[in-house]
Amino acid sequence: MDQKDLLELWNTKRNQIIMAQLPPALVLTALFVTAAFGKFEAAPDAARYLTIGVAAVTGILSVVTQYATIREAEALLIDLNRIEGKTALAAKIGESRSFLSLTAIMLVLFSLATTALVVWAVLGK
């Protein structure tokens, strides 16, 4: 692949990471509104567990998608760094591996924290 193809693929990977965040963001927004109005307090246990399950599945699928995309983007950076005579943009993107690693770490940490907060919001009294 040449530089142009790799840069286009880089943009595709970035968009995949962003788009994978939309479904859980919508689910979390709905959960936040429901919890803010105190609707979980009177909800039956089955509804609460279903809510946690849906949030968990949505989040897990999103994390898997984002993590796979990050791994592919890291491989893309290796290929991009092998190209001679890169543009300034390609060189700067080629230096992004540490940011991708940080993104992967933060993805896991934020997912765990969000899961704990969802369980607390849904089951807490």
Q: For residues 56 and 107, what is the distance between their CA atoms, to the nearest angstrom?
A: 14
Q: What percent of the chain lies above the pLDDT cut of 70?
A: 99
- pTM here is 0.82
Q: Count CB neighbours of 72 within 10 A.
A: 14
User: Under CATH, what is the fold of the domain 3-123?
Assistant: Topoisomerase I; Chain A, domain 4 (1.10.132)
Q: What is the pLDDT of residues 44-88, one digit of tens each?
A: 999 999 999 999 999 999 999 999 999 999 999 999 999 999 999
Reading the block at residue 8, the tokens are: 């286009």
Each as own residue / partner, the long-range contacts of residues 28-31 (CB below 8 Å, 24 or more positions apart, any chain) are 28/55, 28/114, 28/118, 31/55, 31/118, 31/121, 31/122
Question: Mean of the pLDDT values across residues 98-102?
Answer: 93
- The ranges assigned to domains in the chain are 3-123
Tell whether the model's pLDDT for residue 106 goes beyond 90: yes
Residues, the chain:
125
